[in-house]
Amino acid sequence: MKITDYIEAKIGRLPKGFVFTYDDFITEVNKKQAIIKALNRMVVSGKIAKLSKGKYYKPEATVFGVLHPNQYQVVKDLIENDGKIIGYLSGYSIYNQLGLTTQVSNTIQIGKNEIRNSFKRERYTISFIKQKNNITKENIPLLQILDSIRYIRKIPDANVTSSCKRLLDILNEFSEVDKSTLVRLSLKYSPVSRALLGALLDELGNELLTESLKKSLNSITEYKLGISKILTSAEKWNIK
């Protein structure tokens, strides 16, 4: 089979919006340039679109225009490596998904143990959030909540009070095991993040779970978040 026919057949089986590179095809070094040329010809013909250097995707045409790949597809090479989870979508990438804002950002934020400088990829700015905990598939939803608490003052088109209301709804759906894990993971976050998590969990009647958080904080430090009376235990946690 000719390389072009092989590539077109394989791309035909991929879902719309799926991002791929020449490495997803034949890997022999002597065919690499032929694969790149074939892919670039398909870009010119409109059969595929180019996301960035060496990255392509199957465009999906709708009545509203061509849809771009979702954010995960745009940065999946920064989130997974040979099947291992090395990062996760966070910050601006998940605030809308969590119902913390109605805005959709052109900045994709990724939580990782090792971070790098931000850069541009297609229409997106890719930036990174330092994560001190080990990242696993199971704890990613919890880390996303903790990151939202950490950056609660930076959530677009939202204030701290409205964000706390939404976080209370989310945390109320968590199991006791998840809440306990959330507390453990939060011990590697800033004091103000731990204090706010403690106040949120206390509001839901989980005082026993928050004892370790309280012990981890300086009893005389105050945390100025500008929260209204939504958190009845705010004073206990020195939150103003």
pLDDT in tens, 32-91: 888 888 899 999 998 899 888 889 998 887 777 778 889 999 999 999 988 899 999 999
Bridge partners for 67 per DSSP: 60
Q: pLDDT-based confidence at 92, cuts 50/70/90?
A: very high
Mean pLDDT along residues 173-193:
97
Chain centroid, CA 223 distance in Å: 26
| Range name among 28-42, 140-154, 156-170, 185-199 with the lowest pLDDT average | 28-42
What are the residue ranges spanned by the domains of the chain? 3-60, 159-240
Q: Residue 104: phi, psi to the nearest 5? A: -115, 120
Is the pTM for the entire model greater than 0.75? yes
Greater pLDDT, 235 or 31: 235
Q: Residue 140: phi, psi to the nearest 5? A: -55, -45
| Range name among 22-26, 90-94, 157-161, 171-175 with the lowest pLDDT average | 22-26
Q: Domain 3-60: give its CATH code.
A: 1.10.10
